């Protein structure tokens, strides 16, 4: 069986994609324990890999398309590695892989411009597929050298970091992290629905933590919720925590509520009982990955009628995945599009129709289970 001493994994996408690639890194480390493994990704997206013991280094590249900077990187990468694993089908990722290593395993698009030349330069092509979970898809890039049969798969969270002292002092039992913001509107559960759930949790005596990045989008979506309460009942941690600190916070709360976003995947990775809200996005491809699950898809494309709720995970770390109803007279959830109008700023009627009282009931059930001794 072929041995590789230097391996480059290329993941030029968002933070959530980087986190869900960690089972591939873990499998590569087990298969080639003496290899030096590096990861190349966009600046600001590699936080999920901080402290990962399987890695030697992280290589950040700018999203800008300046050829001056790109030529310098290509010279630096030229044949430094024995194997390049290209986890995205974009042109830039393939260029980096072709330059970095003489042998490449890569995700090749099923159709479209560039498909032919990408197959031509790839010794081990993997064709992208519908309803294949991204965790399994990335692992299959290593299928020429290892088998997935009988393997258990876990997403590896980043190393935890202590919370800021003032926030750490506020922690108490019976607490929930609510992550309101989505990067794109078509994944956004209505803020007024979150408001109803948070108000009910506070009325129940449950501490609620609001998380999000420090950008205008996340602050704007959460600002209108701050009148519901004050610390230590309602805690505004938006923009105050990095990825490792969010992992530390999630590991200590009783439950989590959030949309199809990287923090939801992080909650699953640290074993927090969670409710995930899905609309147009197929959970078969992007559902939160249950820790220690076998190498098979844990999710169906949609849950059974009438509630379309799916459950996975373990008694200690249950995952509840909820999908909204289809449009009247249609069977469109999940559509796999960017919302009803198929663009990032589109509304998604299925999410709008996912009732807050149904979501609240699932959260309360998780909280009730957390109070029962293991």
Q: Give the distance, in angstroms, between the CA of residue 232 and the centroid of all CA atoms in the same chain.
A: 29
Query: Once rounded to an integer, what is the mean pLDDT over residues 315-324?
Result: 96
C-alpha radius of gyration, the chain, whole number: 21
pLDDT for the residue 110: 82
Q: Half-sphere exposure (CA, 13 Å, Cβ side) for 251?
A: 16
Q: Could you read off the pLDDT of 52-88 as tens digits, one per residue?
A: 999 999 999 988 766 666 788 888 999 999 999 999 9
DSSP structure string for 74-117: HHHHTT--SEEEE-S-SHHHHHHHHHH-SEEEEEE-SSSTTHHH
Supply φ then ψ for residue 68, to 5 degrees. -60, -50
Q: Could you read off the pLDDT of 341-364 as tens digits, one per residue?
A: 999 999 999 999 999 999 999 999
pLDDT for the residue 314: 95
Residue 373: pLDDT band with limits 50, 70, 90: very low
With 80 as the cut, is the pLDDT of residue 256 above it?
yes
Cα(201)–Cα(175) distance, rounded to whole angstroms? 9
Tell me the average pLDDT of the chain: 93
Pairing of strands 152-153, 83-86: unpaired
With 80 as the cut, is the pLDDT of residue 129 above it?
no
Query: Once rounded to an integer, what is the mean pLDDT over residues 226-251?
Result: 97
pLDDT for the residue 339: 94
Which H/E stretch holds residue 192? helix 191-203
Q: Which two tokens stand for residue 349?
A: 């009627």
With 50 as the cut, is the pLDDT of residue 245 above it?
yes
Query: Once rounded to an integer, what is the mean pLDDT over residues 229-256?
Result: 97
Rounded to 10°, the helix 243-251/262-270 angle is 50
pLDDT for the residue 372: 47
Q: Which residues contact 143 (CB under 8 A, 6 or more apart)?
A: 126
Give yes or no for a cis peptide into 213 (omega within 30° of 0).
no
Per cent of the chain over pLDDT 90 is: 83
Q: Which two tokens stand for residue 172?
A: 């108490």
Residue 2: pLDDT band with limits 50, 70, 90: confident
Residue 1: pLDDT band with limits 50, 70, 90: low
Query: Once rounded to an integer, what is the mean pLDDT over residues 11-30?
Result: 95
Among 58, 29, 19, smallest CA distance to 41 is for 58
**pTM across the whole model:** 0.94
Is the separation of the CB atoms in 106 and 97 below 8 Å? Answer: yes
Question: Higher model confidence: residue 360 or residue 373?
Answer: 360
Query: Once rounded to an integer, what is the mean pLDDT over residues 195-199?
Result: 98
Q: Could you read off the pLDDT of 294-305 as tens digits, one per residue?
A: 999 999 999 888
With 70 as the cut, is the pLDDT of residue 371 above it?
no
pLDDT for the residue 131: 83
Cα(142)–Cα(40) distance, rounded to whole angstroms? 17
Q: Could you read off the pLDDT of 135-174 as tens digits, one per residue?
A: 999 999 999 999 999 899 999 999 999 999 999 999 999 9
């Amino acid at each position: 069986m072929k041995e590789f001493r230097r391996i480059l994994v290329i993941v030029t996408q968002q933070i959530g994609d980087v986190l869900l690639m960690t089972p591939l890194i873990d499998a590569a480390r087990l298969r080639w324990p003496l290899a030096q493994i590096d990861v190349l990704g966009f600046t600001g997206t590699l936080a999920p890999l901080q402290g990962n013991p399987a890695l030697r280094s992280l290589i950040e590249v700018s999203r800008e398309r300046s050829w001056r900077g790109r030529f310098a990187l290509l010279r630096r990468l030229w044949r430094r590695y024995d194997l390049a694993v290209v986890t995205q089908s974009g042109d830039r990722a393939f260029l980096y892989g072709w330059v970095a290593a003489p042998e490449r395993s890569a995700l090749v698009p099923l159709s479209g411009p560039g498909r032919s030349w990408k197959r031509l330069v790839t010794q081990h092509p993997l064709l992208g597929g519908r309803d294949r979970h991204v965790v399994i898809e990335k692992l299959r890039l290593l299928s020429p050298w290892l088998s997935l049969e009988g393997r258990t798969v876990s997403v590896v969270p980043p190393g935890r970091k202590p919370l800021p002292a003032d926030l750490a002092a506020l922690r108490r039992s019976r607490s929930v992290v609510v992550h309101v913001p989505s990067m794109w509107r078509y994944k956004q559960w209505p803020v007024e629905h979150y408001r109803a759930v948070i108000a009910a949790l506070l009325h129940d005596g449950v501490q609620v933590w609001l998380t999000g990045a420090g950008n205008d989008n996340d602050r704007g979506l959460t600002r209108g919720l701050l009148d519901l309460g004050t610390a230590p009942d309602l805690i505004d941690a938006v923009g105050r925590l990095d990825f490792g600190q969010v992992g530390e916070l999630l590991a200590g709360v009783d439950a989590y509520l959030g949309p199809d976003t990287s923090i939801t995947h992080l909650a699953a990775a640290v074993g927090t009982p969670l409710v995930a809200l899905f609309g147009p996005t197929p959970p078969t491809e992007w559902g939160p990955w249950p820790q220690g699950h076998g190498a098979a898809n844990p999710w169906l494309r949609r849950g059974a009628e009438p509630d379309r709720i799916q459950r996975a995970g373990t008694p200690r770390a249950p995952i509840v995945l909820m999908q909204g109803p289809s449009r009247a007279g249609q069977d469109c959830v999940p559509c796999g599009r960017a919302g009803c109008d198929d663009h990032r700023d589109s509304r998604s009627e299925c999410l709008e129709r996912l009732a807050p009282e149904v979501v609240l009931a699932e959260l309360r059930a998780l909280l009730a289970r957390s109070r029962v001794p293991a």
